């Protein structure tokens, strides 16, 4: 339906590529790609920030840490219900598409803006009179992941995005298998590995240079790190209250550092639970952290308790035990190969004790999680636009 024939591009043509960034986990996914494309003479990467995350420490701090310029285009959509947020991004981005006519749109991850920009792009027509003609190529980076849980907004975003995108860059074999099972043509799928690992390796030196333990009065390797923001964990009073009680009990055995996501903070305040956490001496709350600061506390922790997607991957890469407070994961390779295990309210405390009594686990790093994913994506773009043997900028 949307596939245009591969365009042959002359050496003087530059391909305008929009990189869509919206929410915190997206910034680590576009950064390595932006830097890799910047080196290519044929590429004009343009960062489009939809504004889904807008706080200084949820957005700007990441741009600074990852060496990204200010977004070239900012849609400023902010928060809202799912339909409001998705609709506002679609309306704002459609205007941008008509004004700027990119050749390619790269969406990443599974947030509402990923879905919204995909839909806006695949239905755009640069020739409004004929409602036809060339459209930008949409590529999805981190395609094929499935939790098989349609109560998660992210799962809906993944399914719709993958059904519409023309190029599907997967992080692992399970992604390929899911797409094939859903009837996606093999030619659209390219396994490129995990782009988050590129960011981690790109920033490793800076991460290792800092030590936040003194600031939080913690000992290296002797504290747990907590992050929670999924609606299923933090939106319901009973659930959140129970999680808080369990975390306080765990913190009596091992100190816990808990950078609090805005969604979680709002609910902790709304339900009157924040005081109970502040009163607990060994459970240390902080604001959300920038990328380098957060990765530093990951590097130095004994274990992680989380419901994030990205942290399951980062801990697998680093071989740090991770307890994921969810009934499922769209990243099964982190469990089968890596250091991740799923847990529930009932077995969280026991799982922490198990980890503390274990020696080193038998973990391995999934294939192509090697810090070279951005290079493979660049190669895939060159193949799509038939851009071989063109020089890098520096040549
Ligand atoms: C979003 C993504 C989720 C991702 C998460 C990472 C969707 C459906 N969800 O969830 O996949 O894992 O980001 O953080 O796209 N807020 C602020 N400041 C901000 C951003 C948000 O105060 O900078 C508040 C909003 O007002 C809102 C709440 O936090 O009430 C949730 O924000 P929202 O973007 O709707 O979803 P997240 O829970 O952050």
pLDDT, tens digit (0-9, with 9 covering 90-100), for 194-210: 999 999 999 999 999 99
Tell me if 42 sits within 8 A of 391, measured CB to CB: no
Could you write out the DSSP letters of every residue in 42-74? Answer: TEEEEEEE--SS-SGGGTHHHHHHTTPPSPSEE
- Atom of ligand 1 minimally distant from the CA of 111: 15
263 CA to centre of ligand 1 in angstroms: 6
Tell me if 100 sits within 8 A of 65, measured CB to CB: no
Top-confidence residue, 344 or 391: 344
Residue 11 has pLDDT above 80, yes or no: no
The C-alpha atoms of residue 306 and residue 363 are separated, in whole angstroms, by 19
- How does residue 361 score in pLDDT terms, banded at 50, 70 and 90? confident
Strands (E) in 120-165, as ranges, are 137-141
- How does residue 132 score in pLDDT terms, banded at 50, 70 and 90? low
52 CA to centre of ligand 1 in angstroms: 7
- Atom of ligand 1 minimally distant from the CA of 157: 8
CA pseudo-torsion sign 135, 139, 143, 149: negative
Sheet of 256-259: strand order equals 283-286, 256-259, 224-227, 303-306, 322-324, 340-342
134 CB-near residues (< 8 Å, 6+ apart): 4, 7, 126
Using CB distances shorter than 6 Å, the residues near ligand 1 are: 23-25, 52-55, 58, 79, 110-112, 153-154, 229, 261-263, 266
Q: What is the pLDDT of residues 274-287, one digit of tens each?
A: 999 999 999 999 99
From atom 2 of ligand 1, which residue's Cα is the shortest distance away?
111
Q: What is the pLDDT of residues 322-341, one digit of tens each?
A: 999 999 999 999 999 999 99
- How does residue 161 score in pLDDT terms, banded at 50, 70 and 90? very high
Average pLDDT over residues 92-109: 97
Residue 55 has pLDDT above 80, yes or no: yes
What percentage of residues in the chain have a pLDDT greater than 90? 90
pTM reported for the whole predicted model:
0.94
In this structure, of 103-112, 130-139, 250-259, 363-372, the range with the lowest mean pLDDT score is 130-139
Other Cβ atoms less than 10 A from the Cβ of 123: the count is 14
Please indicate whether residue 18 is annotated as part of the active site: no
261 CA to centre of ligand 1 in angstroms: 8
- Atom of ligand 1 minimally distant from the CA of 80: 35
- How does residue 319 score in pLDDT terms, banded at 50, 70 and 90? very high
Tell me if 218 sits within 8 A of 335, measured CB to CB: no
**What does the pLDDT read at residue 2?**
39
């Amino acid at each position: 339906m949307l596939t245009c024939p591969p365009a042959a591009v002359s050496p003087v043509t530059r391909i305008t590529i929009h990189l869509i960034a919206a929410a915190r986990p997206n910034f680590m996914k576009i950064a390595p790609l932006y830097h890799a494309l910047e080196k290519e003479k044929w590429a004009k990467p343009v960062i489009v920030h939809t504004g889904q995350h807008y706080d200084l420490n949820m957005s700007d701090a990441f741009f600074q840490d990852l060496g990204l310029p200010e977004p070239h285009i900012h849609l400023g959509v902010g928060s809202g219900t799912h339909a409001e947020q998705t609709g506002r991004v679609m309306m704002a981005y459609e205007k941008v598409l008509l004004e700027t006519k990119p050749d390619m749109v790269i969406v990443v991850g599974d947030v509402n803006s990923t879905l919204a920009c995909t839909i806006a792009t695949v239905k755009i027509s640069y020739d409004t009179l004929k409602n036809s003609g060339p459209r930008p190529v949409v590529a999805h980076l981190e395609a094929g992941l499935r939790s098989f849980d349609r109560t998660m907004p992210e799962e809906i975003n993944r399914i719709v995005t993958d059904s519409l995108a023309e190029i599907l860059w997967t992080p692992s074999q399970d992604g390929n298998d899911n797409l094939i099972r859903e009837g996606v043509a093999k030619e659209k799928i390219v396994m490129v590995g995990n782009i988050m690992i590129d960011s981690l390796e790109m920033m490793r030196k800076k991460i290792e240079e800092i030590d936040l333990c003194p600031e939080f009065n913690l000992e290296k390797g002797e504290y747990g790190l907590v992050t929670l923001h999924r609606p299923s964990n933090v939106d319901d009073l009973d659930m959140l209250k129970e999680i808080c009680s369990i975390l306080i009990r765990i913190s009596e055995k091992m100190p816990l550092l808990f950078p609090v996501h805005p969604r979680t903070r709002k609910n902790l305040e709304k339900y009157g639970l924040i005081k109970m956490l502040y009163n607990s001496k060994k459970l240390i709350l902080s604001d959300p952290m920038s990328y380098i600061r957060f990765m530093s506390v990951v590097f130095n922790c004994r274990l992680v308790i989380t419901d994030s997607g990205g942290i399951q991957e980062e801990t697998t890469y680093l071989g740090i035990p991770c307890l994921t407070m969810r009934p499922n994961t769209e990243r099964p390779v982190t469990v089968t190969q890596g250091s991740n295990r799923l847990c529930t309210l009932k077995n969280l405390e026991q799982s922490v004790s198990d980890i503390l009594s274990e020696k080193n686990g038998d973990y391995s790093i999934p294939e192509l999680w090697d810090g070279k994913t951005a290079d493979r994506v660049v190669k895939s773009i060159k193949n799509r636009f038939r851009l071989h043997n063109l020089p890098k900028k520096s040549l």
